[in-house]
Amino acid sequence: MKKNLLIASILSLTVMVVSGQTSQQPPGGKRPNIVIILADDMGYSDMGMFGSEIKTPNMDALALDGVRFTNFYTHASCSPSRSMLLSGVDSHLNGLGNMDEWTAPNQVGKPGYEGNLNLSVTTIPQLLKDAGYHTYMVGKWHMGKSPDKIPAARGFERDFSLLDGAGSYWDMTNFTALTPNSLYTEDGKYLTKLPKKYYATQTYTDKLISYIDADHRDGKPFFAYVSHQAPHDPYHLPRDWRDRHVGQYDYGWDMLRAQRLKRQKELGIVPDSTNLAERMWFVPEYSLLAPASRAVLGRKMELYAGLVENMDFHIGRLVQHLKDIGEYENTVFIVFGDNGAEGTDLAKMIGGTPGTRDYLYFASKWSQTDINAWGDPGSYVGYGAGWAQVSMTPFSQYKGWLGEGGIRNALIVSGPVNKRKKGSINNGLMSIADIMPTLLDIAGAEYPKNYKGKELPPMIGKSWLKVLSGEAESPRAKQDYLAWELFGNRAVRQGDWKLRWEFTPLGKSDWELYNLADDPNERKDLAAANPGKLKEMLALWDDYVKKNNVIIPSRSVFEGLYDQLPARFPVDPGYPPLINKRQYVPPKELMTNPKQ
Amino acid sequence: MKQYLSAVSSLNVRNLIIIALMLIISWPNVTQAQGDGPRFYWKGLMGTNAVPVIGSSLSGNANPMDPSNTPIPGASFEATMATVGYAKMLPIFKRAALVSVIVPMGRISGDVSLGGLKYKSMARGYGDPMLQMGINIIGPKPIMNIPDMIRYQPKFSVDIIGSLAIPIGEYDNTTPINIGQNRWYGRIGAPIVWQLGAWVPGRRTTLEFLPAVWLMSDNNDFVGKKMHTEPMYQVEAHLTRDFMERLWGSLDVISYSGGKATIDGVEGSSLSNFGVGGTLGYQINENMQVNASYSSTINDNKPEDLKMDGFRITIIYGWHKLVEGMRRLKNE
């Protein structure tokens, strides 16, 4: 027995040396477990502790037990965000320079634009596994489907994963006639069917709990990537979660945004001077809508709220289980959404044109359109731009775009690494790419120059440990910048300044410049008034392009949008008076019946 | 805005208009032998109006217009009836209510042996008009507007109904074969609708019951005799299921008990019979619904047992001013 242990120890040491890794067992004992909870398309203000009326007691409890970060950036859509999360490398180098679904002709075949997490990078689970962690994943993957790209091949010991970007929560139905089935893997094998009584959020949680329990006694810490499908559309949720907000959203997005902003100010999430971003010009003023329209549109938000609450419930189950087995106190939680809330109607985009192949496919698979069927298999509900802007209160725009509403998200970090006051708020400039160096620090591991014989691209993130320990307010120095490019839209943030280029009509198809300290909602373009700052920021953009292999796509999902949306005019509340002015009531003493 | 709301207008509101009018198909049935029928007590948008035309063909050993369903051994009745009426849904005491009036008409012919006399005759004309009022006591609040309609699900609902027939229909005291009944009668009942599963057109399933008691005053001139009838207890049960969004069906069972008739002191038998049948319903358009049903008594081998069977076609035309206005705008 002793001999076996000795051999195992020598082998482990050898593996670590060969792979260039070292793990540091902290003097206090076991290294912390790490749980990343990623909510798909959850917006900045959707958690209670970030201003939401949606009931999220379990995520709120993590916030109150940890720190909330208000200046945390992801990418503008899911797979680029996820690739940067797991690799710590910019999306244009790690294979998700564009989403697989939208790779442009001039990007095809170019390194960095494979449409999956390419093999030139390593991943958090690979490095943490090498450092002695168990590594588990449940939920959405969206970074490759071939055997060398699935979770098991990228460092996860155990997994139950949806390989696609979205799909039914109830079964294997996917969205297009050519890709009718969602693909799932479990522990590295492709599933031919789903478990009995499958419901995504519940099954993911059940699986993860079983993985944790199976290894619990061996003394090794674990890393769990809980990549929830919720609350991505379609809004599929069990019936008993659908009617918890009936009628609550009939008053609409304008008022709800104002309410959330008020709460955000009370909570200290945003400064008191913050205003709401302009409502998107093609989204109607809610007060103009008929009660029936309000109820139908409000029902979509009711379902979204139920979906978030259901997810929170299952997060609560996981947290409670960790408490029950005595692991909660030694677990780091990192909770956030992967990009802005979804304001685009994906169903309409794919299956909304009569006479097309995918319209026929939607007719056969996604045609449960009755409002009482919403949430069931075969129904497809997304809440649209009006509610997406609520989720992104107080910002402008939403998923896919590089306005703050597309890329800024709420972040909670709790657990033993946090030395800041519990429940506190930090405004440091954070990036999703920071998570790789942060977790390596937590695990006592290092990012190697080479991995399995390949030179690794540099990480672009900064560890949060000094921020979490209270030694720094931000992981970034003044000169550090963050930059993004997706679907041809571009942005750079340095300090309070933000440079942005976006397709019309959401952008100007030209560079815009904003000072986010004064104008977090990007209402006032300062480019013309600040040519010097514009030039400075453009230089940073050029630097980013050069260092990160950025190829501006020759085609874009947004290229024809100017022709699809109505002409853009300013949104002025109460305009036009023609339909907003109330009946004039004369003074009573001047009213009379007609003379006969 | 128009673009943004296109999904609402084209997808949901269209369906809602259909639903709004589909849900009012509640008719007190003059041909009591067949019962009120399935999906009879579903609720609709308050303010909805409806006009039914019910055609039925019945045969058996009891006068189908007689609420007591008193069988006459050896008798043979044939009836071809039509019923027209008007109903309106409205809220009363913040509960959903329905008031309606119907007038039966048509002809009945038959061979009857009664008191040693044989009658072979035909009656035609108008029957006793019937008023009915029903109010929900357990279940969702009344459907006051389209948002309420969107959120409506019956779940488990119970109504109280009261019906009263006014004895002004055609009556001939020389024959037991009549359309009018020459006496007051009515009923008190408690219809129950129990939603099973999702409330989604195409998938709706309900289990429905209607226990009711019929009360009848004496007919003091029944072929020159006095007819007294004890209360008759009737229980209907229906298992209904959507086959498609607009097509549904139902298995129907009805039981009769009590209702013993005494004619000039000569007692008859109490009822103890069952009828079974089926119904198919189809929503033709936003305004019109058609139902077809057939039912027949079972365990009816003895001469004193109720023997009755019949076909019924019901066409209902419904309208609501809000829905009509939306349609006019849509057609502009």
Residue A7 has pLDDT above 60, yes or no: no
Residue B11: closest CA among chain A residues belongs to which residue? A369
- Over residues A572-596, the pLDDT tens digits come to 888 889 998 999 999 999 999 999 8
For residue A8, what pLDDT is reported?
46
Q: How far does the CA of residue A44 sit from the closest CA of chain B (Å)?
A: 23
Mean pLDDT of chain B: 86
Residue B27 has pLDDT above 50, yes or no: no
Residue B232 has pLDDT above 60, yes or no: yes
DSSP state of B12: I
Residue B183 has pLDDT above 60, yes or no: yes
Domain covering A29-481: architecture = 3-Layer(aba) Sandwich (3.40)
For residue B1, what pLDDT is reported?
59
Spell out the domain ranges in chain B. 2-331
Helix (H, G, I), strand (E, B) or coil at B255: strand
Residue B67 has pLDDT above 80, yes or no: no
Helix (H, G, I), strand (E, B) or coil at A526: coil
- Over residues A314-369, the pLDDT tens digits come to 999 999 999 999 999 999 999 999 999 999 999 999 999 999 999 999 999 999 99
Rounded to whole angstroms, the Cα distance separating A202 from A183 reads 18
DSSP string spanning B43-85?
A: --BTT-EEEEEEEEEEEESB-TT-TT--B-TT-EEEEEEEEEE
> Is residue A197 very low, low, confident or very high in pLDDT (cuts 50, 70, 90)?
very high
Spell out the domain ranges in chain A. 29-481
Chain B contact for A372 (CB, 8 A cutoff): yes
Task: Inspect the interface and report whether the beta carbons of A297 and B202 lie closer than 8 Å.
Answer: no
Residues from chain A contacting residue B16 (CB–CB below 8 Å): 292, 371
Comparing A17 with A79, the larger pLDDT belongs to A79
* Class of domain B2-331 as given by CATH: mainly beta
For residue B23, what pLDDT is reported?
47
Residues from chain A contacting residue B245 (CB–CB below 8 Å): 370
Q: Which of A400-414, A422-436, B215-229 has the lowest mean pLDDT?
A: B215-229
Task: Inspect the interface and report whether the beta carbons of A295 and B147 lie closer than 8 Å.
Answer: yes
For residue A589, what pLDDT is reported?
97
For residue B2, what pLDDT is reported?
58
- Partners of A35 in the beta sheet? A224, A333
Q: Which of B239, B233, B235, B214 is nearest to B39 (CA)?
A: B239
Q: Hey, what amino acid is at A359?
A: Y
DSSP state of A218: G
Q: Hey, what amino acid is at A391?
A: S
Residue A391 has pLDDT above 90, yes or no: yes
State mean pLDDT over A406-434. Answer: 98
Residue A68: Cβ-neighbour burial (10 angstroms; 0-12, 13-18, 19+): buried
> Is residue A441 very low, low, confident or very high in pLDDT (cuts 50, 70, 90)?
very high
Q: Which of A328-332, A466-470, B285-289 has the lowest mean pLDDT?
A: B285-289
Residue B199: closest CA among chain A residues belongs to which residue? A372
Rounded to whole angstroms, the Cα distance separating B71 from B82 reads 22
Interface of A with B in 379-398 (CB under 8 A): 384-386
User: At CA A38, angle to CA A37 and CA A41, rounded to 5?
Assistant: 150
> Is residue A5 very low, low, confident or very high in pLDDT (cuts 50, 70, 90)?
very low
> Is residue B299 very low, low, confident or very high in pLDDT (cuts 50, 70, 90)?
confident
Residue A465: CB partners within 8 Å, gap ≥ 6?
A: A417, A438, A441, A442
Residue A384: closest CA among chain B residues belongs to which residue? B4
Whether residue A338 contacts residue A40, with contact meaning beta carbons closer than 8 Å, is answered with yes
State mean pLDDT over A378-392. Answer: 97
Q: Determine phi and psi for A32, rounding to 5 degrees.
A: -70, 150
- Over residues A13-24, the pLDDT tens digits come to 444 444 444 444
Whether residue A102 contacts residue A487, with contact meaning beta carbons closer than 8 Å, is answered with yes
- Partners of B263 in the beta sheet? B227, B266
For residue B112, what pLDDT is reported?
78
Residues from chain B contacting residue A250 (CB–CB below 8 Å): 147
Task: Inspect the interface and report whether the beta carbons of B4 and A283 lie closer than 8 Å.
Answer: yes
Could you give the ipTM of this predicted complex? 0.81
Chain B contact for A284 (CB, 8 A cutoff): yes
Q: Which two tokens stand for residue B38?
A: 């399935």
Chain B contact for A250 (CB, 8 A cutoff): yes
Q: Which helix (H) or strand (E) holds B329?
A: helix B321-331
Q: Which of A223, A7, A65, A13 is nearest to A133 (CA)?
A: A223
Residue A67 has pLDDT above 60, yes or no: yes
**Strands of A489-494's sheet in order across:** A482-486, A489-494, A497-501, A511-515
Active site residue A232: no
- Over residues B93-117, the pLDDT tens digits come to 999 999 999 999 999 998 877 667 7
State mean pLDDT over B284-306. Answer: 87
State mean pLDDT over A500-528. Answer: 96
Considering chain B, what percentage of its residues have pLDDT values greater than 90?
54
Q: Which of A39-48, A219-228, B4-13 has the lowest mean pLDDT?
A: B4-13
Residues from chain B contacting residue A373 (CB–CB below 8 Å): 198, 200, 203
Chain B residues near any Cβ of chain A (below 8 Å): 1, 3-5, 7-9, 11-13, 15-16, 145-147, 150-151, 153, 198-203, 245
Q: Which of B66, B78, B65 is nearest to B111 (CA)?
A: B78
Burial A409-444 (b: 16+ CB within 10 A, else e): bbbbbbbbbbeeeeeebbbbbbbbbbbbbbbbbbbe
For residue B28, what pLDDT is reported?
45
For residue B117, what pLDDT is reported?
74
DSSP string spanning B215-250?
A: EE--EEEETTEEEEE--EEEEEEEEEEESSSSEEEE
Q: Which of A40-44, A535-539, B29-33, B57-61 has the lowest mean pLDDT?
A: B29-33
> Is residue A28 very low, low, confident or very high in pLDDT (cuts 50, 70, 90)?
low
For residue B328, what pLDDT is reported?
84
Considering chain A, what percentage of its residues have pLDDT values greater than 90?
90
Show the DSSP H helices in B8-158 as ranges: 14-22, 146-151
> Is residue B62 very low, low, confident or very high in pLDDT (cuts 50, 70, 90)?
confident
For residue B32, what pLDDT is reported?
53
Residue A174: Cβ-neighbour burial (10 angstroms; 0-12, 13-18, 19+): buried
State mean pLDDT over B216-236. Answer: 93
Q: How far does the CA of residue A294 sit from the closest CA of chain B (Å)?
A: 8
Active site residue A78: yes
For chain A, counts of helices (H) and of strands (E): 17, 17
Q: How far does the CA of residue A523 sit from the closest CA of chain B (Å)?
A: 22
Q: Which two tokens stand for residue B202?
A: 């195409």
Task: Inspect the interface and report whether the beta carbons of B7 and A371 lie closer than 8 Å.
Answer: no
- Percent composition of chain B: helix, strand, coil (DSSP 3-state, to 5): 10, 55, 35
Residue B40 has pLDDT above 90, yes or no: no
Q: How far does the CA of residue B90 sit from the closest CA of chain A (Å)?
A: 20
